Chains A and B, each alone.
Chain A
């Protein structure tokens, strides 16, 4: 149990276009999901907290108008990178808190975004 999926697993897009990444909790409901970004050889950095039915909470320095987060249901959160630039190329990872498991966070497999 406690499986989190992401789609796509990798994507290549051109500079200036937008890319949507989906995060799903497959076997549990998650009122809160988290979005992280990880650059090569670096640790995970929290970007935002996604709350079902309300606005996301963004970490300092993360542009909310560039990284649009929608948490429309208890099993799905989406991250849209708008007007992507090469510096947005990164590994994006989502996680969800499993309420029945003491709220340990379970992570998706990640999405590698490359902006050309």
Chain B
């Protein structure tokens, strides 16, 4: 699985958009970008994933550059409850039950009032 690089921490004002970058310059053509987050003392929560096209769901938007070497997770209107560690994971599609996830250091997002 391709290695990812994320900033260690970021701050965001409540109500503003939070843009979390992730570099994955060695990504392969069949590898997806997955985002999870972990609120303190809880299990990780799936947010979104994508291959090459931008994706949006009720939680966030995922913008993947044309060369796929980096991506950005966007929380359009951050709230205090979005304070968490956000993990960017690059791997082949989770196309069977045995595919595991490898977590890096993630970005600690602090949403401030």
Contact = CB atoms under 8 A, between A and B. Distances in A.
A33 to B, nearest CB: 9
A69 to B, nearest CB: 14
B46 A104 contact: yes
- Provide the main secondary structure of the chain B interface: loop
A105 B96 contact: no
Which 6 A-B pairs have CB atoms at the shortest separation, nearest pair first? A107-B43, A103-B94, A32-B97, A97-B97, A44-B103, A43-B103
Interface string B41-75: 11111100100000000000000000000000000
Contacts, number: 65
Contact of A109 (B34, B42, B96): B42
16 contacts: A30-B97, A31-B97, A36-B103, A43-B87, A43-B104, A44-B44, A46-B101, A51-B98, A94-B43, A95-B44, A95-B101, A99-B97, A104-B49, A106-B46, A109-B43, A110-B41
Interface residues of B, number: 24
Interface of B: 34, 38, 41-46, 49, 87, 93-106
Interface of A: 4, 6, 30-32, 34, 36, 43-46, 49, 51, 91, 93-95, 97, 99, 102-110, 112
Given A6-B43, A110-B43, 4 more contacts: A32-B97, A43-B106, A95-B101, A97-B96
